[in-house]
Amino acid sequence: MSTAATHDAHHEEHAKGLLRWVFTTNHKDIGTLYLVFALTMFFVGGAMAMVIRAELFQPGLQFVDPQFFNSMTTMHALIMVFGAVMPAFVGLANWLIPMMIGAPDMALPRMNNWSFWILPFAALMLVGTLFMDGGAPAGGWTMYPPLVLQTGDAFPFLIFSVHLLGISSIMGAINIIVTIMNMRAPGMTMMKMPLFVWTWLITAYLLIAVMPVFAGAVTMLLTDRFFDTSFFNAAGGGDPVMFQHIFWFFGHPEVYIMILPAFGVISAIIPTFARKRLFGYSSMVYATASIAFLSFIVWAHHMFTVGLPLTGELFFMYATMLIAVPTGVKVFNWVSTMWKGSMTFETPMLFAIGFVMLFTIGGFSGLMMSITPIDFQYHDTYFIVAHFHYVLVSGSVFSIFAAVYYWLPKWTGNMYDEKLGKLHFWLSAIFVNVLFFPQHFLGLAGMPRRIPDYSTQFAGFNEISSLGGFAFGLTQLLFVYIVIKTVRGGSKATDQVWEGADGLEWTLPSPPPYHSFTTAPEVK
């Protein structure tokens, strides 16, 4: 064959390789696409966080103007929520749910492909707003009017990208529900499903319930801006606080959408490395369902300072405290699973234990903020920022790391480098605390959030926080290195990577049938 012909053949093969990823309907390929996309967005959103922390390293205005600073806070949040955490969990769902329930693939494979490919375009449009006249939206990720209505040409693009991200989420959720309901292996009743499958089933219902509410809220913003409606414009008889009600009716369940799959991951990992069955399986299922239900009736705890009637404030205070009960049940069950277990501390287990401890700190600070009169002091300070980052970084993100280390040998056939994995854990665990713990003190001392400049009394803690932020960000490059190194080679993973008891290695409580992991059973 001539050189030109060889080149053409190579070119064709390469195109086939690329097209495989564009047209794939295989749940594992799509899971991989989601995870790679999420990792990319994690670094894009992380870079924006670095801009925020660089600006806050010292008092005064150093690097960026206030408008751009506020654009960074808005974009950082939207990208981390809709671009990093949620797609990562959907990627895990795609990879694991069919294998855990013994299904050959997801129920709606074409829709699966489409729901992924909407994402990169929506994300590009979102990031693209940074380069438009008037700069990216600077109304916070909550997009409160009237702030967000003053954001120039970028505004309609922001709204459209949010719509697309929501459509993708709804499609993914429908797919997950149909798969779990219709494609379980014979004999796998609902109460025999692994908890990761349960948490995702419940999460998918949450997504379908709240994403249209969010779509409605941003559409009303759009018509206020371009069609002279007055939904949120007081001059026309509207009410900007109504937007907050609608937004947080979406926004609070959304927070649980980002943490419930994490509960599922942790409930798979802790029993494996404790070599015990999960303590209180059915109570875990009921607790997850309770959290999901309660998440719909606590939204106004984000709004204690808007002038709610006293009755409303009391209701939302008690409802918010109530949601701590099922969450506490979960933490109790994880700790009970570890109690007297034969524990080993491989990287996934370290991240799982880190999750339990740090997520609990986030839970306790949430309980503090549920107390209405005290929340008047905390509201819109860095205490809030510290609280939700303990839940979302040392909660959601740590659980995603745990899941990747735990299932990577299954995905790639290779073992990751355990020493590097442990190094990644310890650096992450230390720096995430250096980054966010001082923010509790800043908030209690009264430092407002979303402000690029601050009084000199806050300088010390901000300096510590920023140093922790840069160190935490750099540590994540180590994670990328570990993953790439594992994908490219390494010691081969055996059938029983994690030596659990009673076939506990990969799923709980019932192992999937052989054909979901391997092409054929071994001939004995």
SS3 for 201-220 is HHHHHHHHHHHHHHHHHHHH
Out of 449, 463, 485, 516, the active site residue is 449
Catalytic-role residue among 254, 313, 346, 375: 254
Catalytic residue selected from 34, 141, 382, 506: 141
Given the residues 53, 252, 276, 424, the one annotated as active site: 252
Q: Is residue 272 within 8 Å of residue 232, measured between CB atoms?
A: no
Which residue type, as a one-letter code, is found at position 40?
T
The two tokens of residue 176 are: 């997950």
Report the candidate in 255, 141, 168, 264 with the shortest Cα–Cα distance to residue 206: 255
**Of 151, 161, 168, 199, which residue is the catalytic one?**
168
**CA dist., res. 189 & res. 200, Å (int):** 16
Catalytic residue from among 302, 387, 389, 424:
302
Secondary structure, 3-state, 443-499: HHCCCECCCCCCCHHHHHHHHHHHHHHHHHHHHHHHHHHHHHHHHHCCCECCCCCCC
Does the active-site annotation cover 302? Answer: yes
Distances from the Cα of 109 to the Cα of 6, 18, 122, 261, angstroms: 34, 18, 21, 21
Q: For residue 269, which amino acid is it? A: I
Tokens of 410: 């299954």
449 annotated active-site: yes
Task: Establish whether 276 is a catalytic residue.
Answer: no
Residue 434 pairs in a beta bridge with none
Contact 52, 73 (CB under 8 A): yes
Whether residue 254 lies in the annotated active site:
yes
What would the two tokens of residue 213 be?
């509410």
Query: Active site residue: 169, 320, 428, 486, which one?
Result: 169
**Catalytic pick from 327, 372, 396, 475?**
327
Does residue 428 carry a catalytic annotation? Answer: no
Nearest to 226 by CA among 155, 140, 135, 162: 155
Looking from the CA of 278 toward its CB, the CA atoms found within 13 Å total 30
Q: Clarify whether 267 is annotated catalytic.
A: yes
From 95, 200, 256, 407, the catalytic residue? 256
Active-site pick, 21, 105, 144, 412: 105
Q: Is 301 noted as a catalytic residue in this protein?
A: yes
Q: Which helix H or strand E contains 240, and what residues bound it?
A: helix 240-257
User: Which residue among 74, 129, 203, 267 is the active-site one?
Assistant: 267
Catalytic residue among 301, 379, 389, 424: 301
Can the peptide bond before residue 156 be classed as cis, meaning omega within 30 degrees of 0?
A: no
The answer to whether 141 is a known catalytic residue is yes
> Catalytic residue at 76?
yes
Question: Which residue reads 């719909």 in tokens?
Answer: 296
How far apart are alpha carbons 415 and 404 in whole angstroms?
11
Select which of 29, 34, 74, 76 is catalytic. 76
Output the six-digit token pair for 325.
């009960």
Report the distance separating Cα 90 and Cα 472, nearest Å: 24
Helices of type H across 56-153: 66-78, 86-101, 109-128
Helix (H, G, I), strand (E, B) or coil at 307: coil
The pair of three-digit structure tokens given for residue 158, joined into one six-digit string: 């922001």
Which residues does the annotation mark as catalytic?
A: 76, 105, 141, 168-169, 252, 254, 256, 267, 301-302, 327, 330, 449
